[in-house]
Amino acid sequence: MAVLQVQLLLVAFLTSTLGAAQYLVQDAALMNYMDRRFLSLEKRLEKCNQDILDYVDEFRDFSKMALSRLAGLNSYKAEVKSEVQNLLTRIERAQRDIDYFGSVTDSNPCIEVHEDLVKQQLLEEAEGKKKLKLMLNASCDHMLAGIKSLKIVKKTGDKHGSWMKDPGKKHTKIYLLNGSVNNVIFEFANIMTFMENNQTVSAHRVTMPFPWEGTGHVIYRGFLFYHRYGSLNEIVKFNMQSRKVADQMLLPGAGRIPAYQLSPHTKIDLAIDEQGLWAIHAEPETGGNIVITKINPITMAVEHTWDTPCSSKDAEAAFMACNTLYVVYNSPSGGTSRIRCVYDVLDAVNTYEIPALHFPRRQGSHSTVHYNPKEKQLFAWGDGSQIIYKLRTQQKV
């Protein structure tokens, strides 16, 4: 009986031991399976991460290529726009020439004009030009004979800039436009206020809707005329009282090359004299020679254009005085400024011969030289200094 109990206990013990061993084998197999699955998942995750990194690199390369293509398209768009603007200005000039020739020639070629009638018309045309010339000379009969002295009014601002005074009868304000690209004007009550040390306290700031380009701006009859930055040849007329843009125009042929070789920041230089508003620029078609245009300041229309023999090479500035262009030359490194080329629009054939007129007691360069017809003197900007030059004039021959 005892033996039987021992056998039963032994059988129970073996059964439990075998069951535990079987469970251990099953657990080991399960763990091995789970390890293999986790390894497989890790490999897949690594491959997924690598694919994502590859996609990111490819997308970056594509983005760079797309941005490069877009930049090229923008550049091409700007070039095409510039060419179209140039073409439009040429078409406008050609249309004006066609209109002019159409107005002075007979539209019907079949009608024979009597020779005496042609002579009479030519005489009347010549007489009209003579009367116009006499009228302009009557109101403006002097020419520049020399530059007497200079006065450095103040030294403020950048190397390039302009300062001016409206030549109107009741205008005493001084305007300072600092830099070759800006949109803020400093307005001073008078010259004494301008000469004070702190310009930001005594000046009134006027913010322009569009920035200017270059230093060839003028203020005339309460309006600021300037070349708009970023445009080829757009001239803006800005009302200084209402602080609004009054008008705009395109100047045919201008804006492609600098008006003066030594002042490459200025493509269009506007000027004022006894006869009103002018624009000075240079064109490749004239071999870089200077072109002057008379502009109606009210309608912003071109009245007439003259191709001058004055070269823009080694020129730094120019101004109009009494229907006459005076071009200021210098050396590229800076030196004594001098006037070497003079062009009278009313006597272009017999241009006045004068010796070179040197600017007194100053070495350097000018970024702006503008004539004030009311005060008969030059407002200049030279290396950050605001200068006034007094003039000596003589009667035109």
Beta strands in 214-268 (DSSP E): 218-220, 223-227, 234-239, 244-250
Backbone conformation region of residue 230, classed left if phi is above 0, alpha if psi is from -120 to 50, else beta: left
The residue-averaged pLDDT of 254-280 equals 96
**CA nearest 381: which of 273, 289, 263, 278?**
263
Distance CA 380, CA 372 (A): 11
Which residues are paired to 64 by β-bridges? none
Residue 332: which residues within 8 A CB-CB, separation 6 or more?
Answer: 262, 314
Is the pLDDT at 325 greater than 90? The verdict is: yes
Is the pLDDT at 208 greater than 50? The verdict is: yes
**Cα maximum dimension of the chain:** 168
pLDDT in tens, 190-205: 999 998 866 667 789 9
pLDDT in tens, 23-66: 677 777 888 888 788 888 888 888 888 888 888 888 888 888 88
Domain ranges (residues) in the chain: 1-100, 142-395
Amino acid at 126: A
Tokens of 34: 């789970």
Q: Average pLDDT over the chain, rounded to whole?
A: 83
Is the pLDDT at 118 greater than 90? The verdict is: no
Helices (H) and strands (E) in the chain, counts: 4, 20
Question: 344-380 burial, b if ≥16 CB within 10 A, otherwise e?
Answer: bbbeeeebeeeeebebeebebbbbbbbbbbeeebbbb
Amino acid at 109: P
Backbone phi and psi for residue 373, each to the nearest 5 degrees, phi listed first: -70, -20
Least confident of 3-17, 134-148, 232-246: 3-17
pLDDT at 1: 66
Cβ atoms 174, 219 nearer than 8 A: no
pLDDT at 210: 95
pLDDT in tens, 213-233: 999 999 999 999 999 999 999
Which helix (H) or strand (E) covers residue 61, if one does? Answer: helix 2-104
Tokens of 214: 């270059």
Least confident of 108-112, 206-210, 284-288: 108-112
- What is the edge-to-edge ordering of all strands in the sheet holding 204-213? 161-165, 174-178, 181-188, 204-213
Supply the DSSP symbol for 214.
Answer: S
The residue-averaged pLDDT of 137-146 equals 77
pLDDT in tens, 268-317: 999 999 999 999 999 999 999 999 999 999 999 999 999 999 999 999 99
Q: Percent of the chain, pLDDT > 70?
A: 78
pLDDT at 109: 42
More confident site: 137 or 255: 255
CATH fold label, 142-395:
Neuraminidase (2.120.10)
pLDDT at 349: 57
Please compute Rg for the chain using Cα positions. Answer: 40
